[in-house]
Structure 1
């Protein structure tokens, strides 16, 4: 039975709700010519003709806020698109069989003129199996930069709007925009669904109302939801004025996936305390009974694509960049930080820890370099700008105090760099530090470990033989999802600058054998963990949604 909360959500669309009586359009199966798509009478086929056909292929519909596409605009103003191989959603395809028809539904990272939207939509469907959701610019601003980034993102990372200067108070108009945007995404998903055998996999906190809209349209829909961010404790979550609406909507999914058990436990606690629901747990199965349906909860930690990282490591450009980095920092211990530019990554706290280390240990000056790669911010806000300014200020202060004309303790890279260059920094760095004050899984430690394993080309560059044991050192915040799985890492409380400085000091004092043991422990785990994660992704719906 569908959650009773759907009627409230539909009321918020201000007269722009669904007409559930009208038939929905299915994704066309056969392209006969550019711009002309037909759907032949499949009932006329023989059984032999259906083997390997598009109609018999299992279909996965992956829904996310943004499509896994890059875009460019030429001088004439013409848009062109390409697949973003770095996007996690694109890498999910490797967890499915080759016969699986994967369709993506999401918005674009660029505004498209209404007169061009039909043409762009046909092109993206034809070339990339992508169905774009075009949100008006004002709705996108209220939905993404408003409710998602000002309300949900801080709350899910344990930041409460105590006063106007420390956060944004709840704005019901922004929530109504969130409802309308989710409704538009649901419309596009309905265009992609061909039959009851299709699986819909919704991703992340931007689309938490989607299960209600889809379940109302198709009662038997096979629907999974995966949360990439943390889910807060009930004491934090209950401060959200629309807490019940979001919980009830998520419970319209068949399966809800979380990065860690802690996040799933918090969700269960919210369902128990706020909705009075009970759950059953046995043999690794967690189920919530809700209006005659059993909603399954799973811990589906996201891993890294080991094969892709290894293939990038083999590129001549990567090997050349590793040589360049190692020559540039020859004789120095190279530490690395790779973080998105947001207020929860603890970049300034990391730099303060380094500053304290250099203050306490003069012998490490001129011998230690921290390269901090800052990925461009995905949202622009006062808090983000303040975080950037603060990080730059701390870095400049450290370089003035402990640097020289030929030496900078901190090297900030605050612009987008090619993927192979980031991989080269991973491979060349003696230590990697992840100091987030709150994060989901965070795959940086896993990527670093795989890259430190290197390959025969990099070993030859370093003059190593095939029997040489590789090394790596990790410093990881205890508040990130990957922390429990990295038993060989130094775990730190990012809020304690002394704790961070001590971990940095211990990392500089490890023997080669200790570095080898820590690396081998993590690499063996990652080799299995990466394969396991993609297996789980492949069976996400098949094994759990009926």
Structure 2
């Protein structure tokens, strides 16, 4: 038998096989000194290590031949295009903001007639509504709800078969003040950190004694980005810190938000918090707080109170609301809970979402809610009316 082979490989870091050959010495071929150093290292490397690296490369190359890579590429293409023909493509936006999104075949606009029909046949309804971007346009200068919003919420809350909640990332003080006229409205503030079932009910919190030491680490980082981003600001909540860039230059604000997100994730890697990016915001909040948890708790509580939910409407517009849509589907598939007859998860705007339905804008949302409110006020007419003329 011949002596064991122990050749070394010096490879350019720019070629495709470079990441696959883990035992090779990678170099920048344009750096002559680096190439010389790599060749010198390969020559002087101990014989045992040379042999080990050669065996590793030989085994990899033998098992990953041309046929293997051809099959691999084909499988990747098949996987990427597997449901291509089942999806629909839509062009959204204008100019530099134009993009093409793919939407599922069952994703469609919510029909008011369809949801009103389901609404009339149910008797234990849970209605969950985001606020900013859902009932109030994101670009609106006036953040308090309009008289129209207050009126439709009062109508929905006036139906004893309804439990209506506003589920928002905003603080409890502003939400309490804005929705004071709607006495029976439930509010989940700060993504569910605070919850109350009506105006007269006490606020409940999911954490008895939250650890807020992380705020001392996160706030200086946010302050740095605020100083360098005109139009940005920091919002202090009881449970969270939020960096807003809605009033900053759109492109620069978006770039800064991405950098801030990465920066905070590194700084807070060992803290019991999550860093999330939303609509014109970057937010840091304790782990375990989400709108999805609100949905789970409300459905479970209504079941324990003897009013299992048979109708759920959930409307939201941003990434935090996707947690609600996901939780609704989990609750539907949870055998421990009663089956929910009618489920309407609806996002605002035509975009990829875990929701099955969409509405175009807050105006459409209000019109849909008004349709439900009208159904509560006017009960359905009987299918037939029998009149007796007996004397």
TM-score range, shorter chain: 0.3 to 0.5
Which has the greater radius of gyration?
2
Point out which structure has higher relative CO (alpha carbons under 8 A, 6+ apart): 2
Is the helix fraction higher in 1 or 2?
Answer: 1
